[in-house]
Amino acid sequence: MKEDIKFYDDLRKTYPKTMSKEQFRIAAHISKATALYLIENKLIPCRDTKKKTRRYTIKTNDVIAYLQDRVVSPEKYLATDGWYLKRSGNKHARRTCKDKLLRLTPEQVEMLRAYYQNEMSDLEDVMSVKVFAEFLGYSPSTIINWCNNRYVKAFDISGRFMIPKICAIDFLVSPKAHSIQQKSFRHKLFCQDFLAKHRLK
């Protein structure tokens, strides 16, 4: 994302060498169960002291490497739903970004609009399907399907859809976008980042 470099620099300033599991969880915007999954499955290197408190020590550079690789290979870090169910004891315990975003007030919707305007500030005012697909982490065929179904307003120019940025943002702040059951990893990251920045988690 646009602010990633500054975010990584801030992480290094805050945690020059290492951080705890809880600090890792907050920095990565993940749950305690997800952090434990990554640690126990050796997807994030760490030192296990076996202590009851502050048991795990994780190098800051390893956290940054994880965050960068998570964008490129999100499937590598996905835990099964069974992992969470075993720890919650309640099959309804996991609250999703979808649930929270569907309950946004009109003022919060405008905050979300401003968030996406900032994230998309480097993109052209009218973009191709490929550009929007890469930004949001979906396949071009998914974006084309959205355009065909008029979820995303677009111009059909010589058989190719061109999407005005404002229309892309209109879609991203809409209930239709929030209600997508299987969001891409990048789409989830945008949602989680917005909710965290505005303390809506």
Average pLDDT value for residue range 185-192:
87
Q: What is the pLDDT of residue 20?
A: 92
22 neighbors 33 (Cβ within 8 angstroms): no
Domain with 30 in it: 4-88
pLDDT tens string 102-144: 888 999 999 999 999 999 999 999 999 999 999 998 999 999 9
Both 165 and 78 in one domain: the answer is no
Both 65 and 22 in one domain: the answer is yes
Give the domain-ending residue among 53, 88, 123. 88
Give the domain-ending residue among 43, 58, 88. 88
Model confidence at 93, pLDDT cuts 50, 70, 90, reads: very low
Both 132 and 189 in one domain: the answer is yes
Both 17 and 42 in one domain: the answer is yes
Give the domain-ending residue among 55, 88, 121. 88
Q: What is the pLDDT of residue 149?
A: 93
User: In whole angstroms, what is the distance from residue 189 CA to residue 177 CA?
Assistant: 14
Q: What is the pLDDT of residue 108?
A: 93
- Structural domains of the chain, count: 2
Q: What is the pLDDT of residue 109?
A: 94
Q: What is the pLDDT of residue 148?
A: 94
Both 193 and 118 in one domain: the answer is yes
pLDDT tens string 77-90: 887 656 766 665 54
Both 115 and 82 in one domain: the answer is no
Both 41 and 101 in one domain: the answer is no
Among the listed residues 50, 41, 45, the one whose alpha carbon sits nearest the alpha carbon of residue 24: 45
Both 34 and 118 in one domain: the answer is no
154 neighbors 145 (Cβ within 8 angstroms): no
Both 101 and 189 in one domain: the answer is yes
Average pLDDT value for residue range 33-56:
89
